[in-house]
Amino acid sequence: MRAALNIFLSEKNLFISGAIALFLAAYFSKGYYHPDEHFQILEFAHYKLSHAPASELAWEFHAKIRPTTQPMIAAIFMKVLNTLGLQNPFLISFILRLFAASLSFLGIFLFYRTFKEEIKSQKLRIYFLLLTFFTWFILFNSVRFSSEGLGTSFILIAISLLFKLKEKNGLHFIYIGSIFGLSFLMRFQIGFLLFGLFLWLLIFKKLSFTQWLGLGIGVLTLIGLGICIDSWFYGEYTLTIWNYFESNIIDGKASSFGESPWWWYFTEFLGSAVPPYSFILLVGSLYFVIWNWKHPIAFMFVFFLLGHIVVAHKELRFLFPIAPFLPFMTLISLEHFNAKKNFQLMTQPVVRFIVITGLVVNFVLTLVVCFRPTDPHTVMFENIWNNYKEPVKIYYFQNNPYHRPYTLNFYKRPDLIPVKANSVSEIQLNSDTTQLVLVHFQERDSLKNLDGKFVYMTYPEWVLQYNFNDWLSRSYVYYIVELPSASTTK
């Protein structure tokens, strides 16, 4: 058993396993984690290809606060795939997630190669690679075609190239600066991280004028390109970064979505990242920035975190770009603590129990990430897309399933028409159009008189038998039947 584990825990096999995990997560992570990931990227791209009206886009489009480099990348993918005959939006979104996963793999590969020498223990180096690939929330973010996902990958690539390359002339710094600029165009908040890094370079690295010039040219060139892309996308000259700052900070739009105290990120991380693993990472990372505060990762981590702490509106996904730093900081902190105290922390029974429990919980959650859809309702949309290619009416009684909170044009065929009905009696059989009726599964008995054929339910029947902590009351489990045509009922 130990021999097999040692074979698995080799650099080569971990890279292979990491690639497999990324592929599986990209394939099964259907749907979106946060509405911004869909409505400000895929729907923007869908609109730019003239497949949806601007009136049905998110408010961020009309306020012109969304940087559109990433929607443009998505639109290019869509256009090329459409030209090749691929129209299925679910396959297209999978390809976009696979693209994100590929960038993440490259970022993790370079990040590990660049910083592994700082960890002296070969065993801890292997755990550095293992946990960077297989920490469940890092893997989750790694396959998201979101601003957090791509922004994280570009940052890992850029800082790795910055510190790995031995010979770097001005041209190299232009390339590296361009990648930093690209990460900023994915997500403006990456600027907090870049500020910390550039401050560290200014204090400790002592770059030459030529190197600083190259870095500046690279960053500013990409920002300039981003302004051109935004102006093209919105149809007029605009500065999205200023629009973003004015709307969310000066006008307080972001705060309207909720405000949290400064300590919220710490308590929320402990709970949401799942203890005891979250506790281990938090303690290890904070210890790192205290004893090794001159490290560039400490500067990036602290300034990125502080930048988000001072902003009133907080969401845990905002911290995804620094998630890959956590295993490195924790493991190097463990090694430093053992050496400084001449004491092997892992030999203590309580510590060993906490660590093993945390790792087991983490790897169970990693398996969940690899095989569970991010949004179960997207599986329903895919089922309807694949099985109903003709014109379809879908009746609903409460909320339009294709409006969450904006219209899901990307996942909807043009000839699919959602129709609100106040009661079952309003539904008329129509021989010319396929008709579906959607209800909550607890209301399915109301459809018995329609003589419909069951076609879909969000979860299998047996899953609904296990209503732990009354989770069903907080979930919307769709139940769909297909109605018989008028001709078959005569």
Tell me: the pLDDT tens digits for 432-441? Answer: 789 999 988 8
Residues above pLDDT 70, as percent of the chain: 97
User: pLDDT, tens digit, for every residue of 237-270?
Assistant: 999 999 999 999 898 888 888 899 999 999 999 9
What pLDDT, on a 0 to 100 scale, did the predictor assign at position 461?
Answer: 83
Q: Is the pLDDT of residue 197 over 90?
A: yes
Give me the DSSP letters along 156-208: HHHHHHHHH-SS--HHHHHHHHHHHHHHHHH-TTHHHHHHHHHHHIIIII---
Q: What angle do CA 69, 75, 77 make, to 5 degrees?
A: 110
Residue 165 has pLDDT above 80, yes or no: no
Count of other CB atoms within 10 angstroms of residue 74: 25
Q: Is the pLDDT of residue 302 over 90?
A: yes
Question: Closest Cα partner for 449 from 431, 429, 424?
Answer: 424
> What is the structure's pLDDT at 265?
96
Question: Which pLDDT belongs to residue 8?
Answer: 67
Going by pLDDT thresholds of 50, 70 and 90, the confidence category of residue 4 is: low
Instruction: Give the type of residue at 109.
Output: F
Q: How far is CA 258 from CA 253, 389, 441, in A?
A: 10, 41, 32
Cis preceding linkage at 35, omega within 30: no
Closest residue by Cα to residue 132 from 288, 362, 316, 354: 362
Single-letter amino acid code for the residue at 390: E
Taking 70 as the threshold, does the pLDDT of residue 487 lie above it?
A: no
For residue 2, pLDDT beyond 80: no
Q: What is the pLDDT of residues 410-421, one digit of tens each?
A: 999 999 999 999
More confident residue, 487 or 230: 230
pLDDT reading at 7 higher than 70: no
Rounded Cα distance, 367 and 371, in Å: 6
| Alpha helix segments (H runs only) across 318-463 | 325-341, 349-371, 376-387
Structural contact between residues 142 and 22, judged by C-beta atoms closer than 8 angstroms: yes
> pLDDT tens-digit profile of 34-56?
999 999 999 999 999 999 999 99
- Please state the length of the chain: 490
The pLDDT value recorded for residue 489 is 47
Average per-residue pLDDT in the chain? 92
Q: Which of 233, 196, 219, 221 is nearest to 68 (CA)?
A: 233
Per-residue model confidence (pLDDT) at position 462: 85
Is the confidence at residue 348, as pLDDT, over 50?
A: yes
**396: β partners:** 420, 438
What is the mean pLDDT of the segment spanning 337-350? 77
Task: Please tell me the chain's helix, strand, coil percentages from 3-state DSSP, rounded to the nearest 5.
Answer: 70, 5, 25
Q: How confident is the model at residue 486 (pLDDT cuts 50, 70, 90)?
A: low
pLDDT at 279 over 80: yes
Would the pLDDT of 161 be above 80? Answer: yes
pLDDT at 446: 83
Dump pLDDT digits (tens) for 450-468.
888 999 998 888 888 888 8
Q: What pLDDT is attached to residue 475?
A: 79
Which position has the token pair 């790897």?
Answer: 363
Sheet with 416-420: strands ordered across:
416-420, 392-396, 434-440, 478-482, 453-457
> What's the pLDDT band for 490 if we cut at 50, 70, 90?
very low
Report how far apart, in Å, the C-alpha atoms of 312 and of each of 192, 243, 269, 271, 480 are: 15, 18, 17, 20, 41
CA–CA dist 222, 185 (Å, integer): 8
Residues 457, 477 contacting (CB under 8 angstroms)? yes
Q: For the residues 422-449, what does the mean pLDDT come to?
A: 84
Rounded to whole angstroms, the Cα distance separating 96 from 89 reads 10
**C-alpha closest to that of 141 among 68, 40, 33:** 33
> Is residue 200 pLDDT above 50, yes or no?
yes
* Greater pLDDT, 224 or 351: 224
Gyration radius of the chain over CA positions = 25
**Segment (H or E) for 264:** helix 264-272
**CB neighbour burial string for 108-129, b if at least 16 within 10 angstroms, e if fewer:** bbbbbebbbeebeeeebbbbbb
Cis (ω within 30 of 0) for the bond into 460? Answer: no
Tokens of 261: 């105290």
Place of tokens 């997207």: 378
- Give CA–CA dist 319/264, Å, rounded: 12
Classify 290 as helix, strand or coil: helix
- pLDDT exceeds 50 at position 371: yes
Q: Any bridge partners for residue 420, and if so which?
A: 396
d(CA 288, CA 378): 40
Strands 416-420 and 392-396: what pairing?
A: parallel
Q: Give residue 190's pLDDT.
A: 97
